[in-house]
């Protein structure tokens, strides 16, 4: 109730928003609370947006379970994928941003030359490894503050006729595009994607879009419903490897028990081990699913050397990847909306987190409470 009243007054008058909103605050492992918190006031260079739709992903689930993650301060506001509408703008943004504009933002921004010396990683062109990467959270709330660096580097205006439920995937899709850009793939390659959850499906879409019909893309998973979607998204083969050796299933489908590129999209030691086994001579293991630090994967270095197998870990995205993700989504080049299988009001966040853990659906989006 509070939030809708404030929303109206903020957008109508263009005055700084004030009052309270009911937002998700993460306090620790498995401890998320819907609390009344102040609606942020945009300072210089900042904007305040109403969240029209938020998306919940496996990273959110991991953050929730672990109670810690590099991208979030705890206790703190929670959620990082959203699309919305600007309600108030801070001083210095007026020329570019105004209330009523539909927008999407990434969840981070690397360091910015205007703010001082750019860090060493950014100078090397490795912005996803920025030593001062600034993250933004708070998508699981009626309003979200976009800090000035993000406003300058990773906030995008979206035409009003583009559905927020498509554009909300800009951030996770940017992570996939970042990786696709960096993985060496030859047109004759066969590529295995280990995991057909939403990120694995984004991978299928992005690879098929970029490499055309000839690239052999094989999706592996233990759930037939997900594999059916993988096939519909363009996988050449979609194989259920539950209770059977993946190499054998792969050999049956492609005539080879291994692949040139294997992408691990699940994020466990065991699936990394399985992925490594599937990499063929001269091949690449892409470690894309994040595993909590401290877990160890034993590696046969002799095999790595004599078979020239590379391990390529890829994290996060850069502003250029976010720009390209937004462009593809706006143009409708990838059918990302197909992944939405549930819509819940924000107040049911805990249930949405449970659904991610249960893997009973693909993507759940959260919409403002009526």
- Name the site residues for Zn ion (rule: CB under 5 A): 110-111, 119, 122, 130
CB atoms within 10 A of CB 7: 20
Residue 126 CB, nearest approach to Zn ion (Å): 8
What residue spans of the chain are helical by DSSP H?
2-13, 58-66, 120-123, 148-154, 164-167, 170-182, 198-211, 224-232, 246-254, 269-278, 301-306, 319-331, 349-358
Tokens of residue 210, six digits: 């970029």
List all residues 6 or more positions away from 120 whose beta carbon is below 8 Å from its beta carbon: 131
List all residues 6 or more positions away from 357 whose beta carbon is below 8 Å from its beta carbon: 61, 65
DSSP letters along 84-150, please? EEEEEE-TT-TTT--TT-EEEE-SEE---GGGSPPPHHHHTT-GGG-TTPEE----SSSEEEE-HHH
- Cβ proximity to Zn ion, 85 vs 134, nearer residue: 134
Residue 262 CB, nearest approach to Zn ion (Å): 30
3-state secondary structure of 242: coil
- Cβ proximity to Zn ion, 110 vs 267, nearer residue: 110
Rg (CA), the chain: 21
The H or E element spanning position 22 is strand 20-28
How crowded is the C-beta side of 357, counted as CA atoms within 13 Å? Answer: 13
Residue 122 CB, nearest approach to Zn ion (Å): 3
- Pairing label, strands 81-89, 76-77: unpaired
- Cβ proximity to Zn ion, 107 vs 364, nearer residue: 107
Residue 130 CB, nearest approach to Zn ion (Å): 3
Residue 131 CB, nearest approach to Zn ion (Å): 5
3-state secondary structure of 19: coil
Tokens of residue 155, six digits: 């906030």
- Cβ proximity to Zn ion, 111 vs 175, nearer residue: 111
- Cβ proximity to Zn ion, 119 vs 304, nearer residue: 119
Residue 176 CB, nearest approach to Zn ion (Å): 22
- Cβ proximity to Zn ion, 95 vs 125, nearer residue: 125
Residue 323 CB, nearest approach to Zn ion (Å): 17
Residue 59 CB, nearest approach to Zn ion (Å): 21
**In 3D, which of 4, 327, 7, 51 has the Cα closest to residue 164?**
51
Residue 182 CB, nearest approach to Zn ion (Å): 18
- Cβ proximity to Zn ion, 118 vs 367, nearer residue: 118
Burial class (CB in 10 A: 0-12, 13-18, 19+), 119: middle
- Cβ proximity to Zn ion, 99 vs 110, nearer residue: 110
């Amino acid at each position: 109730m509070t939030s809708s009243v404030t929303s109206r007054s903020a957008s109508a008058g263009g005055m700084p928003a004030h009052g309270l909103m009911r937002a998700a605050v993460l306090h620790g492992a498995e401890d998320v609370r819907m609390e009344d918190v102040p609606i942020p006031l945009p300072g210089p260079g900042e904007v305040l947006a109403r969240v029209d739709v938020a998306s919940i992903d496996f990273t959110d689930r991991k953050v929730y379970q672990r109670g810690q993650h590099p991208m979030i301060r705890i206790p703190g506001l929670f959620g990082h994928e959203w699309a919305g509408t600007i309600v108030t703008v801070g001083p210095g943004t007026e020329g570019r941003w105004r209330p009523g504009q539909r927008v999407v933002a990434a969840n981070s921004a690397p360091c910015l030359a205007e703010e001082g010396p750019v860090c060493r990683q950014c100078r090397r062109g490795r912005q996803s490894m920025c030593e001062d990467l600034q993250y933004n959270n708070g998508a699981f709330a009626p309003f979200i503050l976009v800090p000035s660096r993000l406003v300058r580097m990773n906030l995008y205006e979206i035409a009003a006729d583009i559905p927020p439920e498509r554009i909300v995937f800009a951030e996770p899709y940017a992570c996939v595009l970042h990786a696709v850009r960096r993985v060496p793939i030859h047109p004759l390659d066969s590529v295995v994607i280990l995991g057909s959850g939403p990120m694995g499906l984004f991978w299928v879409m992005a690879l098929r879009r970029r490499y055309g019909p000839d690239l052999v893309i094989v999706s592996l998973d233990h759930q037939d419903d997900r594999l059916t979607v993988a096939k519909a998204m363009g996988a050449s083969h979609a194989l259920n490897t539950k209770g059977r050796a993946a190499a054998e299933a792969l050999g049956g489908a492609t005539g080879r028990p291994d692949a040139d590129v294997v992408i691990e999209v699940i994020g466990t030691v065991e699936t990394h081990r399985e992925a490594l086994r599937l990499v063929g001579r001269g091949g690449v293991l892409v470690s894309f699913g994040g595993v909590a630090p401290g877990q160890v994967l034993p590696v046969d270095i002799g095999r790595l050397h004599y078979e020239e197998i590379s391990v390529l870990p890829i994290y996060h995205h850069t502003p250029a990847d976010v720009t390209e993700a937004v462009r593809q989504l706006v143009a409708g080049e990838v059918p990302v909306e197909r992944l939405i299988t549930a819509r819940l009001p924000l107040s049911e966040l805990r249930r949405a987190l449970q659904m991610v853990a249960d893997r009973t659906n693909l993507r759940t989006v959260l919409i403002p409470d009526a």
